Every structure is written in structure tokens, then in C-alpha cells.
Amino acid sequence: MAESPAILVIGPRWVGDMVMAQCLFSALKELHPNTAIDVLAPAWAAPLVKRMPEIRQQIDLPLKSGALEFSIRRRFGRRLRDRYDMAYVMPGSWKSALVPFFARIPRRVGHLKEMRYGLLTDIVPLPDGVKRRTAQAYFGLAQGGTFRVPRLAVDTKNQAALLGRFGLEAKKFAALMPGAEFGPAKRWPSEAYAGLARNMMAKGLKVALFGSKNDADVTAEIAALAPGAVDLAGQTGLEDAIDLIASARLAVSNDSGLMHVAAAVGTPIVAVYGSTSPQNTPPLAEHRELVWLGLSCSPCHKKICPLGHLNCLKTLEVAQVAAAVERLLEIPAAA
């Protein structure tokens, strides 16, 4: 094998997981400084991957989410033959390991998960205490190097243009991310976010609501309950969200992809947890506040509350989150 091998990484399919994947990328770059690292990931990930200096390129594999599509994976793998010396398979599914197998990449590294004997050549142990700690699990695949928290590059020119376009001033607004693609059991109620937004605006801090077009109904409801909040859901691409969130004074978010984006651009973050645990997937930020009631029924890790009451989030008072915001506001704003 070459001293500096070409590496293919089979990337995750969620925004937050892709941000945390940088823990692996930076470790691989440390271990193989002159290597070229490519990431096989959905098309949506391209703007995110471009903000990671460790990555040479993102390769789009157009597959339906959750679909096997065996023949497509086989054809795609065959097209990649003789291009890579090593592959790292980040997802735990059996089908995720097919492309590097069909590409005949000599060394194929991953966790065992769905009994992937034969598909992988190097099976990395995954201790029980790390299974839900995504960043640490990803980093462990490198089997060496230094654990570094994700750090996304910011396009300052695009940032300035966006601030002007939406009438925002750097470090003078709070970014609220009220969505959660995973499911409603991770989403603090809209009326609670609206109450927090009104609280912050009453103290002179402007509020901007972030999310994809799938979050537009939620952000519209919050904007209606908190007049003056700037609703940006569906109006920004992922690269724009990165740059705007980087310019916020602070962010408040559910356990979501944009929470990890905020941490990776150095924005102080208040993270609200319901069905998941801050011990497993905390924002890897220097300045953070983790708000979680820790009820006896949580974390359940379910998309929808199995008990039907969602008390882990519905009983979380605005005042508790507002107090966390106040603690972050005491930290001097970054330049």
C-alpha cells in the first residue's frame, strides 16, 4: 500500500452526523497528511463538505433513502475500481458497505453492525459506551490520531451579502433552529420558541428563524406568535445557513443538524433535548448550555413520544431556556 493512500469515505445521511464526521476526516488527515480523501454522500451534503478542508471532493451517489438498490451500488462500485487504497464506512447498514466491496478497495474499515463480515476487511470494535456517542464512534474508526471537534470554514463575502439581504447585523441577532428532521420527539413546541423569541426581542436582540423548507410550517407558526422575528426557513441553502449562523450572537436549537453546524462555526449554543440525551450527541462547542429535564422516561430515542405526552419537552419552561441564554450572553461576543 502507498505511504499516502487515497481514501474513500462512505458518509452519513444526516446533517448533524456529517458535521461530526469531520472528527474522522481530521484524524485521517493527521495520520496520512498527503492523502486525498473523497466522501461518497447525498447531493445535499456538497455545500457542507466543501467547508471541510480535509476533503478533496464529494461524490454523489443518487439513491433513495433506505433503499437497497443493489444493482446501482454494484455498478457504481465497479466504476470506482483502482481509484482507492482504503475505504471507511461510517453508516452501520449492510448496504452501505457494498460500494467499496464492489470497488475492490483493498482495505475496508467499519464497525460490524449488521454482520458485515466479508464486506469489511477491518472491523473496528464499538464499545457499548460509545455506540450512541456519534462523534467518538466516528473518530474511533481512524484507530489513531487526535480527536478534534468539527470546524467548518466560513465564507465572509457570502456572509456579508446575506446579512445585508435579510436586514441582519452581525452579533446583533439570535439564531433559532426549531426544526428536527428526526421527528417531533426532538422538537420543543412552537409556542415555547415563540415565547423565548419575544423574551429576547424585548431585550433588544433580533431573532432569525432557521430551517429547511420542511420546517417552514413550524417557523411560520413561531413568526406569527412572535412578530418581528425574521423567518428564513426555506430561503437559504445549507451553505448560507452556515455563514449566517456563524454571524449570530448565539443560537438556540433542538438536537438537530443545525445545532452541530452552530457549534462547528463557533457560535455559542443553547441545545434543547427531549427524546435524546446531551451525553450522547452534545454540540461540540466551547460555549454551550445543555437544557434537558432528564425525566424517567427519557432518553427513549424515539421519533414520536411512545407515551403520547411528550412531557420531556412540553414541560420544559421558557424561563429555563431563557436563563441559559442569559448565561451565554454574559460571554463577550466574538469578533
Report the candidate in 4, 31, 315 with the shortest Cα–Cα distance to residue 147. 31
Residue 105 belongs to some domain of the structure? yes
Task: Return the number of other C-beta atoms located less than 10 Å from residue 285's C-beta.
Answer: 21
- 161 and 276 in a common domain: yes
Picking from 85, 111, 140, the residue at the C-terminal end of a domain is: 140
- 131 and 85 in a common domain: yes
Picking from 108, 140, 172, the residue at the C-terminal end of a domain is: 140
- 313 and 204 in a common domain: yes
| Cell numbers 424585548: residue | 202
For the CA atoms of 311, 181, 15, 153, what is the dihedral angle to 10 degrees? -80
Q: Where are the alpha helices (DSSP H) in 278-317?
A: 311-314
Report the candidate in 123, 82, 76 with the shortest Cα–Cα distance to residue 98. 76
Task: Return the number of other C-beta atoms located less than 10 Å from residue 68's C-beta.
Answer: 13
Q: Is the pLDDT of residue 2 over 60?
A: no
- 176 and 59 in a common domain: no
Total number of domains in the chain? 2
- 320 and 173 in a common domain: yes
Residue 335 belongs to some domain of the structure? no
The residues near 249 (Cβ < 8 Å, ≥ 6 apart) are: 171, 172, 173, 174, 205, 268, 329, 333
Report the candidate in 84, 93, 135, 141 with the shortest Cα–Cα distance to residue 114. 93
- 324 and 207 in a common domain: yes
**How far is 284 from 280, CA to CA, in rounded Å?**
11
- Please provide the size of the chain in residues: 335
pLDDT band at 63 (very low <50, low <70, confident <90, very high): confident
Q: Is the pLDDT of residue 114 over 60?
A: yes
Handedness of CA 155, 158, 161, 167 (dihedral sign): negative
- 89 and 35 in a common domain: yes
Write out the residue range of the structural domain in which residue 269 sits. Answer: 156-329
- 95 and 205 in a common domain: no
Residue 129 belongs to some domain of the structure? yes
Residue 117 belongs to some domain of the structure? yes
Q: What is the pLDDT of residue 1?
A: 42
> What are phi and psi for residue 90, nearest 5 degrees?
-80, -45
Residue 1 belongs to some domain of the structure? no
Identify which of 102-106, 181-185, 212-216 has the greatest average pLDDT. 102-106
- 167 and 121 in a common domain: no
Q: What is the pLDDT of residue 331?
A: 86
| Cell numbers 465572509: residue | 156
Rg over alpha carbons for the chain, rounded to the nearest Å, is 20
Question: Cell for 140?
Answer: 474511533
State the chain's maximal CA–CA distance in angstroms.
62
- 204 and 83 in a common domain: no
The residues near 304 (Cβ < 8 Å, ≥ 6 apart) are: 183, 184, 185
Mean pLDDT of 24-31: 97
Q: Is 321 helix (H, G, I), strand (E, B) or coil?
A: helix
- 161 and 116 in a common domain: no
Residue 148 belongs to some domain of the structure? no
Residue 305 belongs to some domain of the structure? yes
Least confident of 39-48, 55-64, 90-99, 177-186: 177-186
Residue 102 belongs to some domain of the structure? yes
Got the DSSP string for 3-68? SS--EEEE--SSHHHHHHTHHHHHHHHHHSTT--EEEEE-GGGHHHHTT-TT-SEEEE----TT--
Q: Are 329 and 174 in contact (CB under 8 A)?
A: no
Picking from 106, 140, 174, the residue at the C-terminal end of a domain is: 140
pLDDT band at 4 (very low <50, low <70, confident <90, very high): low
Helix (H) / strand (E) element for 208: namely: strand 206-209
Question: Cell for 253?
Answer: 436549537
| Cell numbers 499516502: residue | 4
pLDDT tens readout for residues 257-316: 999 999 999 999 999 999 999 999 999 999 999 999 999 999 998 988 999 999 999 999
CATH classification of the domain holding 164: 3.40.50.2000
Handedness of CA 184, 190, 191, 192 (dihedral sign): positive
For the CA atoms of 292, 295, 297, 302, what is the dihedral angle to 10 degrees? -10
- Helix, strand, coil: what percent of the chain each, to 5? 35, 15, 50
- 233 and 88 in a common domain: no
